[in-house]
Structure formats: C-alpha cells, structure tokens
Amino acid sequence: MKQKRFILQENELPTAWYNIQADMPTKPMPPIHPATKQPLGVDDLAHIFPRECCVQELDTEHDFIPIPEEVMDKYKAYRSTPLVRAYALEEALQTPAHIYFKNESVNPLGSHKINSALAQCYYAKQEGTTNVTTETGAGQWGTALAYAARVFGLEAAVYQVKISMQQKPYRSSIMRTFGAAVTGSPSMSTRAGKDIITVDPHHPGSLGTAISEAVELATTTPNCKYTLGSVLNHVVLHQTIIGLEAEKQMAMAGEYPDVVIACFGGGSNFGGLAFPFMRHHLKDGRRTEFIAAEPESCPKLTRGEFRYDFGDEAGYTPLLPMFTLGHSFKPANIHAGGLRYHGAGVIISQLLKDGLMHGVDIPQLESFDAGMLFARTEGIIPAPESNHAIAAAIREAQRCKQTGEEKVILFNLSGHGLIDMSAYEQYLNGDLVNYAVTDDDIQRTLQSVPQ
C-alpha cells in the first residue's frame, strides 16, 4: 500500500536545533555598527533582543543546540508536522518526479512562524523581560508572537504593515484574541513612523517600516525586548526543527530529496527545511539542489547585490551583510505579504554567494495558478507565500516530465491560506496582476545602501 503521510511520535522528535554556521565553508560576516563600522558582539545586540538569542546569533562553533525542555513541551502541542507525498499533484502533472511536502500549516496559527516565536518568548521570559514587541506583514508572525507571548505570560505589542491590515482584517482580530496590542504601521506612535508619514502620507507600510517602529519601542521601553520573525540567524536556527523532522520522515519514506524548495521572504522557512539536508551536502557528499522561491516583484536573491545594508527602512538596525535591493525598496502590494522584504538573511546570503543554493523568481499569477492546482489536488488551500514554493516545485516536476527523471522533490508548505481568501477571490475574479521590477528601480534603491 502506498503511504501518504509520515508522522513522528513525541519520543521521536528532534531535541536539538541545527546551527549551520558551525559547518559553513565561509563563515558569515558579522553585523556591524552603522557609524563606527565595528563588528557587533552579544553585548551590543542584547539591549534589543533576548540575550540568549544574541548568543545563538553569533555562534559559529556549536553545530547542535539543545532545545529547552519548556520549548519542547510547547512544540509537542503541534509537532511533528506531517511529511506528505503529493500523489494527486504528481498525477495531475503527469510527472515521474516524487513530490513531498512538509506541512507546517497544521498548527493552530497556520504557519511555521510559531517554531521561533515560542523559543524567543521563552528566552525573553527567562531573562526577566515582561514585554515583547515586533512587526508583522501578512500577520503570521504577529499571530505566532501573540500566542507565544500569552503562553509564556508576556505582554505583546505588534506593529502590522498597514496595507496587510486592510487586506487581512482577521489577522489583527486573532492577535487581539491572544491579548496583543496591534497598531497599523507606519503609525504616528513612533518617531520612525512619523518621519515616514511626513514624507509619504499614503505609505502602505512594509516590513521595513514596521521593524523600525518596533525596534524604537523596544529601545525606549524598560523591560521590553524586540523579536523578529525571520532574517536573523537565531530565527533560522529555531526553524531547523522542520528539516530535522523531515530528514527522519524522508527516511521513513525510504527516500532522500534531490531538490529542496521553499518560498523566500527573509529565509527562515527555507533555511529551516533546507539546512539539515545541506549539512549532509557539506559533510557527507550527499548531493541536493536547494532552491529558494521569491516573488518577481521583490527579487533580492536573483537581482539584488551583496552589500552591507540596514535591516529596516528607517536605518535603525545594525548593518547586515546581505543580498539586498536597498532598504528603501518598496515592494509592490502582492498578497504574499511575508515575502515583501528587501533583503535576505545573513547565512543565506553567504550560502548564495558560495553557490550552495540558488533563487528563482515567480510572478504573482503563476504562484496562484500553482496554489489553485495544489488546492484542487491535495485539498489544502496554501498561503500566498507558500504558493511560490509550490510553483517552483511544479516547474521542477515539469522539467522531470520532459527529461523522464524520477527526481525526489521536497518543498515546504509554510502555511495555509484560510485567512487570505480575499486574495483567492481576486484571482478567481480575474483581477490579480503581476508586478515586474525594472533594473532602474533596483539601481535607484541600491543607492540608499550605505557605502
């Protein structure tokens, strides 16, 4: 009999995260201070983030980092997530490829983000912090943080990108249900927000504007720490629970992936799934191709430049070595709000530079075509972000159809789209459009990158 889903029991869950920094052929360059250009250490970062997260951020030595028992206990509420063989999708595509997906949409919050929210809130609580703050785009990260803060008894203040708040009103209801205070960004409640609104009163907001506001709140409020849903090394570290489970589950299926694919906003669900497999690629010579699927309208991996740039729009954060479109880049209002970010995480940027992975860019319409086919074959309506991974997986499967190769393709279903039905509604009504970016657009915003 063909097995469809592969599930680990509680006692089979991985108990340590994988820190790829220990195994990278080129270590990531350090974050630096924007004025002095000096490398930043744990003490420089720990006034913004929980200290343990800063330690993890800069740890290039330990390959496995134990998951605290309190975090493990919370993981058990929804982990393991299923590894699923997409037989019906394979059949619809008439491909000889074997397509698997890791279903991170099956927790109560609907995306992978909870994996790091729980860890960050646990460490914040441990050090005596009472309040956490953050930004959120489409709302998945804010939702995860609101829940994790509640679980560990912290107060959460969330800045949500204004345009996403309008597109997805129920996200803020969910955050408020868990007790978080939610503000649309840019807002008049911070200096960063006021500055942005002064220049552009109709600014739709972006992850960049919301990060600026949250960082400002964290640095001006006692006992308040900032948390981030993606981009940083420690966030990707926490997400490796995805790939570590998938590794065991692929073994249960008796297969090993030739291609690993995930959508790409800042890199956490991509790194989370890919890094445990990349470990074998680096250390045991097991060959796998790693593909990050980004939107055509925000192409930092395929068309950005490797530079030191700010993580946020207002230029409050340290400078990070990243593939970037420039921190002033304003992504089009695509429905995949979680992918509307100007840069790529530090580890991923280095891996891309070293040729260990590559990016593909996906037009919005192609992403929804893929999501529709997936919904109609596998019965799950994916998040608009995840549609990019599905589209890239379908491209691979179609290539296999032409060549006759029986490749094993593994992709991450980073979330479900049940709060994104207005996007599907637009697609079904034929109102969804593509947004191309010109080289001139990119050159203009790259000028905002500090020299």
Ligand X SMILES: *Cc1c(COP(=O)(O)O)cnc(C)c1O
Which residues lie near ligand X (CB under 6 A)? 111, 113, 140-141, 229-230, 263-270, 338-339, 383, 385-386, 414-415
Q: How far is the CB of 319 from ligand X (least distance, A)?
A: 20
Q: Which residues contact 75 (CB under 8 A, 6 or more apart)?
A: 13, 67, 115, 118, 241
Strands 181-185 and 155-161, bridge-based pairing: parallel
Q: How far is the CB of 341 from ligand X (least distance, A)?
A: 8
φ/ψ region of 326 (left if φ > 0, alpha if ψ in -120 to 50, else beta) reads: left
Q: Which is nearer to ligand X, 253 or 295 (CB)?
A: 295
Q: Which is nearer to ligand X, 141 or 316 (CB)?
A: 141
Q: Which is nearer to ligand X, 367 or 414 (CB)?
A: 414
* 43 sits in which H/E element: helix 42-45
Q: Which is nearer to ligand X, 164 or 288 (CB)?
A: 164
Q: How many Å is the Cα radius of gyration of the chain?
A: 20
Q: How far is the CB of 36 from ligand X (least distance, A)?
A: 29
d(CA 57, CA 73): 23
Q: Which is nearer to ligand X, 98 or 345 (CB)?
A: 345
Q: How far is the CB of 265 from ligand X (least distance, A)?
A: 3
d(CA 255, CA 277): 13
Report how far Cα 53 is from the mean position of its chain's Cα atoms. Answer: 17
Farthest CA pair distance, the chain: 64
d(CA 104, CA 63): 24
Q: How far is the CB of 222 from ligand X (least distance, A)?
A: 29
Q: How far is the CB of 220 from ligand X (least distance, A)?
A: 26
Q: Residue 314 has which token pair? A: 């207002």
Q: Which is nearer to ligand X, 230 or 249 (CB)?
A: 230
- For residue 419, which of 205, 144, 176, 167 has the smallest C-alpha distance? 167
Report how far Cα 388 is from the mean position of its chain's Cα atoms. Answer: 13
Q: Which is nearer to ligand X, 267 or 299 (CB)?
A: 267
* CA 163-216-147 angle, 5° bins: 65
Q: How far is the CB of 158 from ligand X (least distance, A)?
A: 14
Q: How far is the CB of 388 from ligand X (least distance, A)?
A: 8
Q: Which is nearer to ligand X, 268 or 367 (CB)?
A: 268
* 293 sits in which H/E element: strand 289-295
